[in-house]
């Protein structure tokens, strides 16, 4: 098998996960054997520049962390998928068309327990030809405080319909805060969403291919403390439910690196945010979950390269909707049926066999890598990037302690 090339399309984010992934691929070459031939994977960071729409490319797959935010790399990704057959993680077509608004609607259609959500018109109309005239003719006047008073109870949340790194998210506790947030929204279209107060657990599940990692999350804490080091925060049944929900969401939209935030309250698992083009993958915040992230990304990209996995540019929404419309099935039965569709998309059984047969070395290799000076240099780099100089030594010790804990917990024997 010839060598394969994996591109990393990244922007203004930390060096931790790209450096760790590059190091793991470099330290373990070939990464696998396919049909008796060694699989060599070259990892390279993608550059942005003018391009010929008919140009060839040397990339076989690309991990995309930039296309959702910037136009030039997004259009190159589309060209690479359509013209060159490059495998993309994630799919730029669905992430552009199925933003958070569409994601809410689709999962409501599948019967997931998404909190009540309303879309409200722009506060300020764009000064473009025809817009003001159309608005004056056909846009209905509405009483926002009256709507909220009739449909919601305080508190609630106002947030952009297309999301983006907590951009523009406001907790609303009264009418004054409601109007202040709406006035500040300007030309950004907003959602209103019911707040879930007094919840039992806030969970964020990271999905990479069919691999799902539920994590206990505390949004009230500073970013570097939000992921709680706690493995037993969900019952086995609820853990299985959030795994299924996350896998189904990702397969439905053809998103292969994505996270799902959900709140468990009164026994009901309610997804509240699950269209995340660039989910958190950083050591700074993920702490003990970081090694899992690197292992899972290496495993899934290796599988895609080794099997020449093809991009799916289309969606099979009707297959999911047919299950949703089956009145004879319960919520749990539908979720199991949705998961079967998701597993078919991800080729989960084939992937698990590949990982077991070809990547049996991966767990031990990650365990060893975390204890190397190279990994410690990555750790020091993220601390220097995130904390002021007078706190460096404190957080060197903090993160080294966390990683020692992970090493101890994952030691064999």
Q: Where are the domains positioned within the chain?
A: 4-96, 116-194, 201-276+313-346
The CATH number of 4-96, from 3.40.50, 2.60.120, 3.30.70, 1.10.10, is 3.40.50
How many Å apart are CA 407 and CA 370, to the nearest integer?
A: 8
Query: For residue 377, which phi and psi values (nearest 5 degrees)?
Result: -65, -40
What single DSSP character describes residue 412? -
Query: What pLDDT is attached to residue 35?
Result: 86
Weakest-pLDDT range from 5-14, 129-138, 171-180, 301-310: 129-138
- At 49, which helix (H) or strand (E)? none
Task: Report the sign of the C-alpha dihedral through residues 103, 104, 106, 111, in that order.
Answer: positive
From the options 3.30.470, 2.120.10, 3.40.50, 3.40.720, give the CATH code of 201-276+313-346. 3.30.470
**Quick one: pLDDT band at residue 83, thresholds 50, 70, 90?**
very high
* Answer CATH for 116-194 from 3.30.379.10, 3.40.50.300, 3.30.1490.20, 3.30.420.40: 3.30.1490.20
CA angle 366, 368, 370 (to 5 degrees): 70
Q: Considering just the CA atoms, what is the radius of gyration of the chain in Å?
A: 23
* Lowest mean pLDDT segment, chosen from 29-38, 347-356, 362-371: 29-38
Model confidence band, residue 413 (pLDDT cutoffs 50, 70, 90) = low
Digit-coded pLDDT (tens) for 120-155: 988 888 888 878 888 888 888 889 999 999 999 999
Distances (CA, A) of 277 to 19, 255, 311: 20, 8, 17
pLDDT value for 164: 65
Per-residue pLDDT, 212:
98
Torsion over CA: 117, 123, 127, 130 (sign): positive
Average pLDDT in the 278-296 region?
95
Q: How far apart are the C-alpha atoms of 18 and 378, rounded to whole Å? A: 10
- Give pLDDT, residue 143: 93
The token duo for 393 is 């030594």
Give the pLDDT confidence of 323-355 residue by residue, as tens digits: 999 999 999 999 999 999 999 999 999 999 999
Q: What is the DSSP string of 117-176?
A: EEEE--SS----TTHHHHHHHHPPP--HHHHHHHH--SSEEEEETT--TTTT-EEE-SHH
pLDDT over 80 (residue 375): yes
- pLDDT at residue 228 is higher than 70: yes
pLDDT of residue 95: 79
Q: Is 277 exposed, middle or buried (0-12, 13-18, 19+ CB in 10 A)?
A: buried
Beta strands in 228-292 (DSSP E): 257-265, 268-273
Average pLDDT of 170-175?
93
Q: Hey, is 327 helix, strand or coil?
A: coil
pLDDT of 215 reads 97
166: pLDDT strictly greater than 70: no
pLDDT at 406: 96
Band of the pLDDT at 96, cuts 50, 70, 90?
A: confident
Q: Is residue 97 pLDDT above 80, yes or no?
A: no
């Amino acid at each position: 098998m010839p060598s394969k090339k994996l591109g990393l399309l990244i922007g203004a984010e930390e060096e931790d996960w790209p450096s760790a992934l590059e190091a793991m691929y470099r330290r373990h070459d070939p990464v696998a054997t396919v049909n008796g031939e060694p699989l060599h994977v070259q990892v390279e960071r993608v550059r942005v520049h003018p391009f010929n729409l008919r140009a060839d490319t040397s990339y076989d797959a690309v991990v995309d962390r930039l296309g959702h935010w910037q136009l030039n790399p997004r259009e190159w990704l589309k060209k690479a998928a359509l013209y060159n057959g490059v495998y993309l993680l994630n799919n730029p077509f669905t992430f552009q068309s199925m933003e958070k608004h569409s994601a809410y609607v689709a999962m409501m259609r599948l019967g997931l327990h998404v909190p009540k959500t309303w879309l409200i018109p722009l506060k300020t109309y764009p000064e473009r030809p025809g817009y003001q005239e159309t608005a004056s003719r056909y846009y209905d006047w509405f009483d926002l405080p009256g709507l909220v008073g009739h449909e919601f109870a305080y508190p609630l949340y106002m947030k952009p319909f297309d999301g983006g790194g907590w951009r523009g998210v406001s907790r609303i506790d009264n009418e004054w805060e409601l109007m202040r947030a709406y006035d500040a929204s300007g030309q950004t279209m907003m959602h209103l969403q019911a707040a879930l107060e007094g919840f039992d657990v806030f969970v964020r599940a990271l999905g990479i291919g069919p691999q799902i990692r539920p994590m206990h999350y505390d949004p009230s804490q500073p970013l570097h403390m939000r992921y709680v080091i706690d493995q037993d925060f969900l019952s086995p049944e609820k853990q299985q439910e959030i795994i299924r929900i996350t896998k189904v969401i990702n397969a439905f939209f053809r998103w292969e690196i994505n996270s799902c935030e959900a709140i468990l309250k009164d026994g009901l698992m309610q997804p509240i945010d699950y269209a995340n083009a660039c989910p958190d993958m950083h050591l700074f915040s993920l702490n003990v979950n970081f090694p899992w992230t690197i292992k899972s990304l290496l495993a899934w990209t290796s599988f895609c390269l080794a099997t020449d996995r093809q991009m799916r540019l289309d969606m099979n929404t009707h297959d999911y909707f047919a299950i949703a419309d089956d009145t004879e099935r319960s919520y749990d039965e539908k979720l199991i049926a949705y998961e079967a569709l998701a597993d078919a998309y991800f080729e989960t059984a084939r992937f698990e066999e590949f990982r077991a047969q070809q990547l049996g070395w991966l767990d031990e290799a990650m365990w060893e890598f975390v204890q190397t000076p190279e990994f410690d240099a990555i750790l020091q780099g993220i601390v220097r990037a995130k904390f002021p100089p007078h706190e460096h030594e404190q957080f060197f010790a903090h993160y080294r302690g966390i990683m020692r804990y992970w090493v101890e917990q994952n030691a064999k024997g």
